[in-house]
A and B are shown apart, each in its own frame.
Chain A
Amino acid sequence: MALTAMTGSWLAPHDPLEQDLLNSFLPPFWVAGADPAFLLGTDNLGRDVLSRLIYGTRVALMVAVIAATLTGMLGTTVGLLAGFFGGWVDTLVSRMVDIWMAFPAVLLSIVLVAVIGAGLHAVIIAIIVIDWTRFCRVVRAETMVQCQQDYVASAVTIGLSRRRRLFVEILPNILPLLISLLTLEMGIAVVVEAILSYVGLSVASDAATWGGLIQEGRLYVNQAPWLMVFPIACIIVAVLGFNALGDGLRSAFDPVLRR
């Protein structure tokens, strides 16, 4: 998928926006009446489905990587501080998380994007604003557990500064956890982007995104069900893929599991 996203413009057989009204609603290649030039068929305006999917992959992966990384950075920083310092810092952060959890995520993301104005940057900002709590809660709890460990007590004894204790001792120990959270978040980001473009709030409406393709497909579901099948399959594969990537990376990074 990463390869597809990077080589998209070269790989795609057609321009994703090129319309060919004479060739609208062509079925995919295994159905009679298909045109081999359009492997996965065409949509209502005769645009090539395969090319649109490939361009959609680019949007999906970009959002996944950028949004998940930034969300992770924000949530982890706040969670580390809350877990490490405790006291009023922790109370403040926990209250904030409580308030955040009282909002429905999907609705809030839709409202946020509507407020910021549709576009890729809005989608990414919405994901960060909503999902930082996911990292924050887990990292906070884990930091508290780590702070009770003997190695942290030893670090205090040998006089390591607080900053070194936090970043040199504790952070590496929660890294395996962070990686699985991060890949999980990438899967979530793909879904959120699809949701927002389904509702019509992601990138410009004529650009190809998986969610946008699904939304178009929903309109013609009785005429051309394949229009919906392919983007749905892409999203499921991406989400399962990110989950599997997380499991793999975690067992590669976790010294206990590696043994």
Chain B
Amino acid sequence: MTAASLLRRLLLSVPTLFGVLIINFVLLRVVPGDPIAMMIGPGATPEDIQNLRQIYGLDKSIYQQFLLYLGDFLSGDLGTSISMRQDVVELIVGRLPVTLELALVAIAISLVGIVGLGITASIWKGRWPEVLIDVFSGFVQAVPDFLWALLFILIFGVLWASMPIFGRMDLAVEFDPLTQFYLFESLFRGDLVVFRSILMHILLPALSLALPLIAIGARLLKSSINESMAQDYVQLARVKGFSHFRIVVSQAFPNALIPTVTLTGVQMTFLIGGTVLVERIFGYPGLGNMAIDAVINRDLPLIQGIVLTFAVMFIVLNILIDMTYAFLNPRLRHD
């Protein structure tokens, strides 16, 4: 992707971000009743309420309030959490790496699964491995990540208690991290005991997130490979005497990647959205878990901040997908 087209793509996301800001702003202003009434405890005097109104700018017109909100956003100020009495940006920066690490592991598992299953199904087309993979992906796709997480808890936590089902690492493990990327940091420092503990904790939540993506991606990859197999260059490779395996892996697969990347890219946003609930179920201390706590505590500034963070992540992810797409497609690369 050239600098010019990248810039164009970035500019295109500005109106989207602006729309996100408007909705995020409106969303928490349609709260029935007074938002201040939810923040304060009983026994507050009318003066207290008036003071809080002033602090949050609620005594101004909606139009002015939005401008204030926009100004705060641009200067990187998302307010102070009501329930934790801490800066919202600080809270988010502390939790975001936890969620990102989980999402990255889930995406890595998905990629391995998609490529493995997609190629296997194409090589043994029309035979039992393909049938098996079709049945598997049909069922897996119908069951959402939320239920996979619960099923894994039942299977690996209770029936065959072999995996940890709560938290991020064993409490007994001693680890003094510098960053919030525990998994990568422990690996980097060569601390294998810690690494193993963290890996065991991340596997089930990551797998719950990955499974639906694997099912969709493997199906797509398989049908794209099958389409590529009908093309002339595959005929040519056959004439040259390439083996079936080599044709699938080195000729059809790279060409099938483009449609698969575009469509699974969209699905990746669902994976990231799914972390909210999966983290909750596994008691994983990420952004999503904090979001649900914030909702339960009616912590409006924190909710707004987290929703915004997710929206920005989605917008960035979409740009990355477009860039990958341009990178994979030579026609667009030389554009």
Contact = CB atoms under 8 A, between A and B. Distances in A.
Nearest to B287: A107
B143 interface: yes
Contact of B151 (A115, A194, A200, A232): A232
Interface string B126-161: 000000000000010011101100110110011100
Interface stretch (A68-76, A97-105, A249-257): A97-105
A99 B16 contact: yes
A122 to B, nearest CB: 11
Contacts of B277: 106, 195, 198-199
A232 B150 contact: yes
Contacts of A104: 269, 272-273, 276, 307, 310-311, 314
Given A218-B153, A236-B147, A117 B16 contact: no
B82 to A, nearest CB: 14
B308 to A, nearest CB: 10
Chain A: number of interface residues, binned into ranges: 35 or more
B147 A102 contact: no
A218 B296 contact: no
A194 B277 CA distance: 12
B32 interface: yes
Interface stretch (A41-49, A81-89, A145-153, A220-228): A220-228
B181 to A, nearest CB: 21
A179 interface: no
A115 B300 CA distance: 10
A122 B157 CA distance: 33
B154 A229 contact: yes
Chain B: number of interface residues, binned into ranges: 35 or more
Interface string B12-37: 00011101100100011011100000
A228 B153 CA distance: 10
B296 to A, nearest CB: 7
A25 B294 CA distance: 32
A107 B276 contact: yes
Given A102-B314, A200-B296, A222-B158, A214 B150 contact: yes
B20 A110 contact: no
Contacts of A108: 307
Given A111-B27, A200-B296, A218-B150, A105 B273 contact: yes
Given A115-B27, A236-B147, A221 B310 contact: no
Contacts of B151: 232
Given A98-B16, A103-B307, A103-B310, A225 B159 contact: yes
A157 B62 CA distance: 50
Contacts of A187: 142
Nearest to A221: B158
Interface in B309-324: 310-311, 314-315
A129 B15 CA distance: 20
B118 interface: no
A59 interface: no
Nearest to B317: A102
Contacts of B202: none
A57 interface: no
B298 interface: yes
Nearest to B139: A240
A106 B143 contact: no
B217 interface: no
Contacts of B298: 114
B117 interface: no
23 contacts: A95-B19, A96-B19, A103-B314, A104-B273, A104-B314, A105-B270, A106-B273, A106-B276, A106-B277, A107-B288, A110-B276, A112-B27, A114-B295, A116-B32, A187-B142, A198-B146, A214-B150, A218-B153, A228-B153, A232-B151, A239-B144, A240-B139, A240-B142
User: Shortest 8 CB-CB distances between A and B: which pairs?
Assistant: A104-B273, A99-B19, A104-B310, A114-B295, A102-B311, A225-B158, A102-B314, A107-B276
